[in-house]
Amino acid sequence: MKAAVTTKAGIPTVIEIKEVIKPEIISGWVLIKVKAFGLNRSELFTRRGYSPGVQFPRIQGIECVGVIEDDPSNTYEKGQQVAAMMGGMGRYFDGGYAEFCLAPLEIVIPFKSGLRWSKLGAIPEMFQTVWGSLNQALELSAGEILLIRGGTSSIGMLACQIAKSMGVTVISTTRNPEKIKRLRDNGSDHVLIDNGSITVPLNHLFPEGVNKILELIGTKTLKDSLKCISNKGIVCMTGILGNEWAMDSFSPMDDIPSLGKLTVYTGESKNISSELLQKFIDSVENGSISLNIDTIFKLDEIRQAHEYMESNRAQGKLVVELDN
Ligand SMILES: NC(=O)c1ccc[n+]([C@@H]2O[C@H](COP(=O)([O-])OP(=O)(O)OC[C@H]3O[C@@H](n4cnc5c(N)ncnc54)[C@H](OP(=O)(O)O)[C@@H]3O)[C@@H](O)[C@H]2O)c1
């Protein structure tokens, strides 16, 4: 089969398109004929060699969508549509950057849809992350106020649409004033320009602060976000767009307001059910959710796709669609 193999840690040219042996089925796993997959920032870190325990050569890709090619457990029929994500996929075992992918049953979720594969490919990891962050980590409910820090990211844009559908007031941030209209068109009630500190403009809008914050920039802005929560508010750090893994100093008694809560979300496929995934796919199909897809690449273009993601020029999800 054709696969994009990350031959060693390094720049995008370490990924090579190769003919490799198609994986052999093993008990407890399914063989998926890959139709499409979304690209994820964590794959940049893995490619650079920053994911602990990952050995090269490795077929990367923490998610994919496709059809069942073989399932010895007979849980799924040949040809059934499925998504697979996380659980070590593309890190500790070969992932979605290939014509076929062997995945353990527990990370596979079935669905039915007439959507194009390129759209379906954008969904699994993005939806799981947004749904888990908003519902499981932030326990978001109608009438609340949500600040999305890193609002123009794919995760941020989808989080805004889902929060609005739940009856939540949304404030989104961007560093770039030219993106204000895009955020407004996507449903944000308010947009703030983020230069690293937004407490003053936020307090003008909401003097008591906001009760929920989705932190996608990460450690760079986390302390400032903690200053923005109202009484008993929650900050969930889900992203690390600022590219800084650790903080120089963190003093919980000073940095977390009394009764405030700080959590993180690093989700798995088990955080969503097949019913939730199906409901979300249906809402994309009926137009109530609009996916922000920037570019659809071919498998042969995987190096360009990595370079593009690294350049930060994308304004939406990047997807690879296979020809098979
Ligand atoms: N925890 C999980 O389970 C999970 C799962 C998936 C993704 N994630 C994380 O969620 C985050 C968002 O992912 P994504 O794929 O949606 O991102 P994305 O679409 O690639 O985000 C692009 C946006 O990031 C902002 N950005 C880029 N570099 C930045 C920097 N140095 N400082 C501040 N903002 C910066 C830019 O916004 P402006 O130019 O408008 O400011 C840009 O529009 C990532 O950190 C990703 O790793 C987490």
CATH of the domain at 183: 3.40.50.720
Q: How far is the centre of ligand 1, averaged over its atoms, from the C-alpha of 153 (Å)? A: 5
In a domain, 28, yes or no: yes
In a domain, 279, yes or no: no
Query: 210: closest CA among 236, 171, 175, 183?
Result: 171
In a domain, 151, yes or no: yes
Q: What's the half-sphere exposure (Cβ side, CA atoms, 13 Å) at 234?
A: 19
- CA dist 150 and 146 (Å) reads 12
131 and 118 in one domain? no
- Ligand 1 nearest atom to the CA of residue 132, by list position: 3
The residues, any chain, with a CB within 8 Å of residue 229's CB and separated by 6 or more, are 209, 210, 211, 213, 235, 257, 260
132 and 119 in one domain? no
Q: How far is the centre of ligand 1, averaged over its atoms, from the C-alpha of 149 (Å)? A: 9
Is the pTM here over 0.95, yes or no? Answer: yes
Q: Whose CA is nearest to atom 31 of ligand 1?
A: 242
Query: Which pLDDT score, from 0 to 100, does residue 324 have?
Result: 80
Residue tagged 């490799």 (tokens): 20
Residue tagged 């998504």 (tokens): 83
- Most ligand 1 atoms within 8 A of CB, residue of 63, 133, 153, 154 to mutate: 153
137 and 260 in one domain? yes
71 and 164 in one domain? no
111 and 146 in one domain? no
81 and 7 in one domain? yes
- CA dist 197 and 165 (Å) reads 28
Chosen domain end from 246, 264, 282: 264
Residues contacting ligand 1 via CB (< 6 Å): 40-42, 125, 129, 150, 152-155, 174-176, 179, 216-217, 238-243, 265-267, 312, 314
73 and 91 in one domain? yes
In a domain, 280, yes or no: no
- Ligand 1 nearest atom to the CA of residue 155, by list position: 16
Q: How far is the centre of ligand 1, averaged over its atoms, from the C-alpha of 23 (Å)? A: 33
Q: How far is the centre of ligand 1, averaged over its atoms, from the C-alpha of 72 (Å)? A: 38
- Ligand 1 nearest atom to the CA of residue 317, by list position: 19
Q: Whose CA is nearest to atom 28 of ligand 1?
A: 241
* Residues forming beta bridges with residue 213, ordered by sequence position: 147, 235
Q: How far is the centre of ligand 1, averaged over its atoms, from the C-alpha of 239 (Å)? A: 6
Query: 213: closest CA among 228, 232, 195, 194?
Result: 228
Count of domains observed in the chain: 2
130 and 111 in one domain? no
113 and 89 in one domain? yes
Tens of pLDDT, residues 216-267: 999 999 999 999 999 999 999 999 999 998 999 999 999 999 999 999 999 9
Are 302 and 4 in contact, with CB atoms under 8 Å apart?
A: yes
257 and 176 in one domain? yes
Q: Whose CA is nearest to atom 8 of ligand 1?
A: 239
- CA dist 34 and 69 (Å) reads 9
The residues, any chain, with a CB within 8 Å of residue 243's CB and separated by 6 or more, are 218
In a domain, 281, yes or no: no
Q: Whose CA is nearest to atom 46 of ligand 1?
A: 239
Q: How far is the centre of ligand 1, averaged over its atoms, from the C-alpha of 179 (Å)? A: 14
Q: Whose CA is nearest to atom 48 of ligand 1?
A: 239
148 and 257 in one domain? yes
The residues, any chain, with a CB within 8 Å of residue 46's CB and separated by 6 or more, are 6, 54, 58, 60, 90, 91
Range of the domain at 169: 126-264
In a domain, 165, yes or no: yes
Q: Whose CA is nearest to atom 21 of ligand 1?
A: 153
Residue tagged 């903690």 (tokens): 226
In a domain, 271, yes or no: no
- pLDDT tens string, the chain, 324 residues long: the values are 999 999 999 999 999 999 999 999 999 999 999 999 999 999 999 999 999 999 999 999 999 999 999 999 999 999 999 999 999 999 999 999 999 999 999 999 999 999 999 999 999 999 999 999 999 999 999 999 999 999 999 999 999 999 999 999 999 999 999 999 999 999 999 999 999 999 999 999 999 999 999 999 999 999 999 999 999 999 999 999 999 989 999 999 999 999 999 999 999 999 999 999 999 999 999 999 999 999 999 999 999 999 999 998 898 999 999 998
What's the CATH code of the domain at 8? 3.90.180.10
67 and 154 in one domain? no
In a domain, 34, yes or no: yes
- Ligand 1 nearest atom to the CA of residue 86, by list position: 3
- CA dist 95 and 88 (Å) reads 9
